[in-house]
Chains A and B, each alone.
Chain A
Amino acid sequence: DIQMTQSSSSFSVSLGDRVTITCKASEDIYNRLAWYQQKPGNAPRLLISGATSLETGVPSRFSGSGSGKDYTLSITSLQTEDVATYYCQQYWSTYTFGGGTKLEIK
């Protein structure tokens, strides 16, 4: 099974910061990588699929990059509503989620 590792389980950020969240697969997943945002008490929301494709309605301050085993979610100029937990997910071979990265305000 493919394992997904998000190197940081949480970190503190300031409003307006540029934030980068990383995700590493245990093998090449050929850009079959999605990013989800989850706020407390809510279902996950799909932000990005195919490693780089922004879903309709997702603010353009979110972007995804990467290839092979290494992927990144970036948020330029963090807003209050972006405080959440972010999960990566591979869907090259069944499905696996990363452990999540929780953003907190300093």
Chain B
Amino acid sequence: QIQLVQSGPELKKPGETVKISCKASGYTFTDYSMHWVKQAPGKGLKWMGWINTETGEPTYADDFKGRFAFSLETSASTAYLQINNLKNEDTATYFCARSLRLYYAMDYWGQGTSVTVSS
């Protein structure tokens, strides 16, 4: 069955770096685009951007340009989200989600990874 399994919760200090993984199974990884979505505590969903799993080219939403990086390990069917120079406002749950291609709905989601940034 199709699954997106994310790495476990993270507790980090301001200024540190975190890298979250999203391992796909049950489908051909490069047939679907991968998105990242942020949900701050008690808040709604915010699209962070997507990565083309065929080319590895990332595209970032305006609010997520600079400290955020999407990458792939295609041989392992895994996508990564790295956040550099963590800030308190990065405290959130981060989801990966796939879509058939850009401008399609997100039909499968990872379970989410909680990132807490606190000194």
Q: Which residues of A contact B (CB under 8 A)?
A: 1, 32, 34, 36, 38, 42-46, 49-50, 55, 87, 89, 91-92, 94-100
Is B61 located at the chain interface by the 8 A CB criterion?
Answer: yes
Q: Are B103 and A99 in contact (CB under 8 A)?
A: no
Report the interface size class on chain B. 20 to 34
In the assembled complex, the Cα of A58 lies from the Cα of B43 at a distance in Å of 25
Is B70 located at the chain interface by the 8 A CB criterion?
Answer: no
Q: Are A97 and B95 in contact (CB under 8 A)?
A: no
Assuming the A-B contacts A43-B95, A43-B112, are A55 and B107 also in contact, with contact meaning beta carbons closer than 8 angstroms in the complex? yes
Residues B11-36 near A (CB distance < 8 A): 35
Q: A95's contact among B44, B47, B62, B95, by CB below 8 Å, is which?
A: B47
Q: Are B45 and A46 in contact (CB under 8 A)?
A: no
Residues of A with C-beta under 8 A to B76: none
Q: Are A97 and B106 in contact (CB under 8 A)?
A: no
Residues of A with C-beta under 8 A to B95: 43-44
- Closest CB in chain A relative to B56 CB, distance in Å: 19
